[in-house]
Amino acid sequence: MNRRSMLQSLAAGFGAAVGGGFLPNQTFGIGSTASPMKRVIFFLQNQGFDPATCIPSEMNASGSLANAKLPEPIEALEPFKDRMHIINGLHGLHTSPSHSPFFGALGGYRGSDGVPPAGPTIDYELSKILPQTLLPHLCIGMDSIENMRAKPTVANLSASGAGQPIFMHSNPNHLYQLLYGGIAEGDIRNQHEARSSMLERIESMVSSEGLELPLGEKERYGHYLRGFEDMNGLRERLAKVSGHLKKFAPVVDERYTNPEFETDWHDSLLDLGISALKSGTTNTLTIGSGRGEIFGAWKGLGIEQQGHNLGHMKQKDNPIWIKIRQYNSRMLVKLMEQLESVPEGNGSMMDNTLIVYTSNNADKQHTNGSNWPVMLLGDCGGAFKTGCFTQLDGKRPINALYNSILRVSGVQADRFNMSEAMAKKYDSGTGPLKEVLS
């Protein structure tokens, strides 16, 4: 049984880390239609998203951003205002977001530290609906260098179903091996082959172990076996397109092997995420800056303070938070520019991509979730309204935004992860946000 427990633990980690969970979930809604959206990116910065750091100071009501000046923390996005939609006044009262609702931020349900996910999260649901790829859902998490080394994978934000978390990758060396180990050389190639051989042997062991189990336990054990099958299957699929992947693999340099600051790894993880999008390896990228918790470090930006105390600081006009938000904004610019550089259809990949930027802590670390600011980037062929700021009345939940994105993806549904009983208390409307959709 000890051996079996070890194998179960390994399979759970590997299976969840490749983004799928073990049991497919039914997609929300009654059907789907063709969609202009081909990929989606969720970028969640922890410790809250103060609306004063993104709403132009001269704007007190909904309106166009054309003649507005973006605040200093997001000024890098000024050239992209025509593709931006700043939304203020959604709520997440039902998610218990103080110190983070964890899976509840993307799930739109109550969550907390140590509490397993109550259902699938919006990023996972979209990964099933969007045009299928080799690795539909990729999650990366950024933290202090100590935390990323000690826990190279953690699961706090994404889930494929109730009790089925999806792990974030935080060590770029490990993620590079997963994505590009088959085309690498030297030590990386040797480590990839050794790991592949180990996984194949473990899959064989798990398969033989399960034959002797009672029926009920055999079914549960089958879930773990599929975890190894998923991992080995992904490796084989990536190997078949190795020639294509070579065009997109980032260069492994000292940022990977000998980082001076944690931001070296943050930047490397972003590069890997971008490469997975550009190569068509994934259709959904989730970025957790702070990994959905109340920690995090940005010493590479000249910020000595780290962790929980950052959430106790006011963000408006705070030099520390200006640096962090500017760093996020530069990442968003890089994502857009890189996707714009790849032709797709009659335009570029960015023309068919939606980026959702927000926080897993709503507006601040100690929050009741009464205001949950969000920035959208990209219009997906005109499906989303852009170039504007929208002030809502605080009566519609983040679930309504997620439902709106599902609508654009082709799924006809009135709600996402919210029962009618819950909606009577927390949602003043039904269906998508008319303020968001064109």
Q: Dump pLDDT digits (tens) for 135-175.
A: 999 999 999 999 999 999 999 999 999 999 999 999 999 99
Domain containing 136: what range? 32-177+252-426
The pLDDT of residue 345 is above 70: yes
57-107 per-position pLDDT tens digit = 999 999 999 999 999 999 999 999 999 999 999 999 999 888 899 999 999
First to last CA, the chain: 57
Q: Is 413 inside a domain boundary?
A: yes
Query: Is 331 inside a domain boundary?
Result: yes
**Is residue 141 included in any domain, yes or no?**
yes
Residue 339 has pLDDT above 50, yes or no: yes
Helix orientation angle between 122-129 and 398-408, rounded to the nearest 10 degrees: 10
Inside any domain, residue 64: yes
| Residue 284 in domain | yes
Higher per-residue confidence, 9 vs 193: 193
pTM: 0.88
Q: Please write the tens of the pLDDT for every residue from 392-436.
A: 999 999 999 999 999 999 999 999 999 999 999 999 999 999 999
Residue 402 lies in a domain: yes
CATH code at 86? Answer: 3.40.720
Within-domain flag for 271: yes
Q: Which residues are CB-neighbours of 408 under 8 A, at least 6 positions away? A: 35, 36, 37, 354, 380, 383, 384, 437
Looking at the structure of the chain, the number of domains it has is: 1
Residue 238 domain-assigned (yes or no): no
The span from the CA of 203 to the CA of 346, in Å, is 44
HSE on the CB side for 429, CA within 13 Å? 19
